[in-house]
């Protein structure tokens, strides 16, 4: 196994992927500027919801972000042409980190994947051929790489698709509810397309084709007899998603991974016909030995284990969202609702209902339905009053949340001072209510009396709390 990992193979797939990767990021950076994505998410905002622990990035969220995305485009060109590659790819990954970890209002799984691949590329010799670096310094030029590099990309892609498949095995996906909601919300489509999207049979077809594609695409790409069929299926699947879901560069980014599933010599013959054809047989190389042992082995173990964390956290992840992010749970549900906050001055007892409009735009308010964002908002409210010299408690007095257009339910315990709570990424928070608690539970004394001996008994003392 170890010998196979370090077996020499042609490096054309890595070189081609480097070029594709640079093009994808260049399109992302330029598109974000041209389509005002940067303005909407970083400039025209009063505050932002960063990943928890990255609040320091808020200080950069001003016109500085124009420079960040401009430099990102320049770094992408360096990656494409293999010019000062190491500086270019590290710069690109760091700059993207500022954007990715700096906001989650527009969270997408493919942003996470782009960051992960950028991180991987920082450690790989992707400039060893077809690059300005190799022309300037012929000593770095090589036609081969260790086989583990190809395996690393295949394992990473497999994690994405396998976990996406498993996540779809729940009732609302299997009965077509998710795809129905998705298609019914699409506007500005031709009438014949709208009519097709509204058919139950089509909605179920797409739901089960999604499971089949995610579950079978990696094995089909790995097997020579089905590889081209898998390529055609990938083109249809990703182009359909690009047109209907309008998810930016992701479909084309996903297609670029196909180069690692072909035999290396096939990629060389297709893209680099003038490149010397060498038969490495069972030759091995020690290139990247320490990188493999000390970065990629731990990295890939984390990638396999991290998406599993929600299985050891109590509660339904679709409801609690604990363990949802970074787990390849893609396009699985619609979620709506907006929390209302009550602020209590601890010294005077004065109470006010906080207006979310004071700090958030419409898109940000629409994200006030997941526990992490709700908790962050409570901290922001606390900090805002702290600047006025006040020590306050913050309560989520109304937190009715709807999943997949089902009946809305209360998400947050209205008796808990969220501003005083600590956040943990790997454990359940008791102030997130059980999804089976009725939304009006705290308002109905008769219900509480009837449920004194039920599993909801622990909530009975909170019945008098106002909505």
Predicted confidence (pLDDT) per residue in 377-420, tens digit: 999 999 999 999 999 999 999 999 999 988 899 999 999 999 99
At residue 459 the predicted structure's pLDDT band, cuts being 50, 70 and 90, is very low
- Model-level pTM? 0.91
* Alpha carbon distance 351, 342 (integer Å): 7
At residue 5 the predicted structure's pLDDT band, cuts being 50, 70 and 90, is very high
pLDDT digits (tens, 9 = 90+) for 191-218: 888 899 999 999 999 999 999 999 999 9
User: What is the average pLDDT across 211-232?
Assistant: 97
Domain ranges in the chain are 2-311, 336-462
pLDDT digits (tens, 9 = 90+) for 276-318: 888 898 899 999 999 999 999 999 999 999 999 999 999 999 9
Left, alpha or beta for 80 (phi > 0: left; psi -120 to 50: alpha)? alpha
* Alpha carbon distance 207, 178 (integer Å): 8
Helix (H) or strand (E) holding 8, with range, is strand 8-10
Task: Please give the residue that has the higher pLDDT: either 403 or 464.
Answer: 403
How many helices and strands, by DSSP H and E, does the chain display? 21, 8
Q: Residue 190 has what DSSP assignment? A: -
Contacts of 9 (CB under 8 A, 6+ apart): 144, 145, 146, 147, 150, 264, 280
pLDDT digits (tens, 9 = 90+) for 47-78: 999 999 999 999 999 999 999 999 999 999 99
Residue 30 confidence (pLDDT) above 90: yes
Task: Kindly report the average pLDDT of the chain as a whole number.
Answer: 91
Q: Which residues pair with 401 in a beta bridge?
A: 409
Distance of CA 82 to the CA centre of its chain: 28
At residue 454 the predicted structure's pLDDT band, cuts being 50, 70 and 90, is very low
Nearest to 309 by CA among 324, 330, 296: 324
In this prediction, residue 2 carries a pLDDT of 76
Q: Which residues pair with 344 in a beta bridge?
A: 351, 393
């Amino acid at each position: 196994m170890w010998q196979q990992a370090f077996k020499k193979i042609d490096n054309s797939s890595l070189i081609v992927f480097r070029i594709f990767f640079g093009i994808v990021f260049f399109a992302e950076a330029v598109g974000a500027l041209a389509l005002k994505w940067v303005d909407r998410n970083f400039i025209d905002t009063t505050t932002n919801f960063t990943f928890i622990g990255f609040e320091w990035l808020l200080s950069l969220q001003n016109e500085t972000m124009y420079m960040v995305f401009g430099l990102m485009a320049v770094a992408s060109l360096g990656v494409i042409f293999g010019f000062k590659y190491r500086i270019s790819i590290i710069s690109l990954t760091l700059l993207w980190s500022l954007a990715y970890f700096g906001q989650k209002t527009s969270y997408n799984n493919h942003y996470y994947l782009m960051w992960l691949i950028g991180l991987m590329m920082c450690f790989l010799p992707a400039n060893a051929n077809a690059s300005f670096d190799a022309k300037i310094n012929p000593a770095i030029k090589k036609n081969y790489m260790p086989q583990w590099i190809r395996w690393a990309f295949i394992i990473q892609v497999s994690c994405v698709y396998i976990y996406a498949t498993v996540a779809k095995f729940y009732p609302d996906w299997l009965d077509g509810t998710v795809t129905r909601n998705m298609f019914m919300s699409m506007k500005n489509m031709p009438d014949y397309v709208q009519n097709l999207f509204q058919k139950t049979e089509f909605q179920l077809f797409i739901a089960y084709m999604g499971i089949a594609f995610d579950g079978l695409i990696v094995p089909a790409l790995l097997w020579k007899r089905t590889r081209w069929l898998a390529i055609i299926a990938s083109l249809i699947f990703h182009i359909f998603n690009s047109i209907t879901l309008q998810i930016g560069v992701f479909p084309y980014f996903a297609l670029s991974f196909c180069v690692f599933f072909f035999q290396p010599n096939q990629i060389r013959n297709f893209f680099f016909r003038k490149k010397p054809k060498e038969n490495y047989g069972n030759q091995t190389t020690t290139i990247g030995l320490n990188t493999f042992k000390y970065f990629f082995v731990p990295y890939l173990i984390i990638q396999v284990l991290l998406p599993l964390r929600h299985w050891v956290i109590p509660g339904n992840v679709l409801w609690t969202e604990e363990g949802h992010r970074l787990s390849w749970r893609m396009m699985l549900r619609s979620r709506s609702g907006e929390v209302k906050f009550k602020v209590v001055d601890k010294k005077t007892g004065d109470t006010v209902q906080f207006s979310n409009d004071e700090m958030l735009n419409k898109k940000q308010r629409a994200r006030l339905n997941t526990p992490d964002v709700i908790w962050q908002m409570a901290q922001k409210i606390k900090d805002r009053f702290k600047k006025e010299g006040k020590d306050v408690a913050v309560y989520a007095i109304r937190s009715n949340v709807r999943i997949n257009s089902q009946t809305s339910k209360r998400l947050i315990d209205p008796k808990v001072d969220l501003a005083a709570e600590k956040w943990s990424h790997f454990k359940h928070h008791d102030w997130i209510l059980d999804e089976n608690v009725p939304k009006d539970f705290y308002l109905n004394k008769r219900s509480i009396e009837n449920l004194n001996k039920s599993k909801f008994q622990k909530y009975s003392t909170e019945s008098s709390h106002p909505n």
